[in-house]
Amino acid sequence: MNLPNKITLSRVFMIPVFILFLTVDFGWGMIRLGGVEMPVEHLVGAIIFIIASTTDWLDGYLARKNNLVTNMGKFLDPLADKLLVSAAFILLVEMGAAPAWIVIVIISREFAVTGLRLILAGGGEVVAANQLGKIKTVTQLLAISFLLLHNIFFEAIGIPFGTIMLYIALVFTVWSGVDYFVKNRKILVESM
């Protein structure tokens, strides 16, 4: 197992730790930071999420730079991303920080595109993420991070930045999903 795959696997192992900190009250109290007060456990969970998100960029960069792209990495990397993002969005619903309907739309799009990728892979097609997909990912990660951090820095000035980013992420999530299906409709139809 090469280094990029180990980094991807570490992201998978960070998910239960991240979930633990956002769901268990260890009694560590509250912290005031960046204009908001939040449970210390939420801060730790958010930091774990941000570190895990950063490994997504790092493993891909190292794999491409050092020519270490493997089939396992091609499978594991998007799976790890979807598990991390889905866990975070579901926890945000539980925390009351994100509307369930938005999370359902976002997670449904991820399942749909993953299904399409499997169909394409079965036909020998591998489609790399395009610019819309990358923007989708960045907006999702920003939305999740700021919502996990209780809208840190922006709460003091009354701007719901995390919520604004969530709606922007929703737009790019739907747009990139539709774009993905439209661009690959011929292959999809041929597979039926």
What is the C-alpha to C-alpha distance for residues 20 and 15, in angstroms, rounded to an integer? 9
What is the C-alpha to C-alpha distance for residues 46 and 53, in angstroms, rounded to an integer? 10
Residue (of 57, 107, 108, 109) closest to 86 by Cα position: 107
Residue 176's pLDDT band (cuts 50, 70, 90): very high
Give pLDDT tens digits for 97-108: 999 999 999 999
Q: Is residue 136 over pLDDT 70? A: yes
CA dihedral for 73, 119, 12, 163, sign (positive or negative): positive
8 A C-beta contact, residue 90 and residue 147: no
Give pLDDT tens digits for 78-97: 889 999 999 999 999 999 99
What is the C-alpha to C-alpha distance for residues 48 and 30, in angstroms, rounded to an integer? 18
What is the C-alpha to C-alpha distance for residues 94 and 142, in angstroms, rounded to an integer? 19
Give the mean model confidence (pLDDT) for residues 118-136: 79
Does the global pTM surpass 0.75? Answer: yes
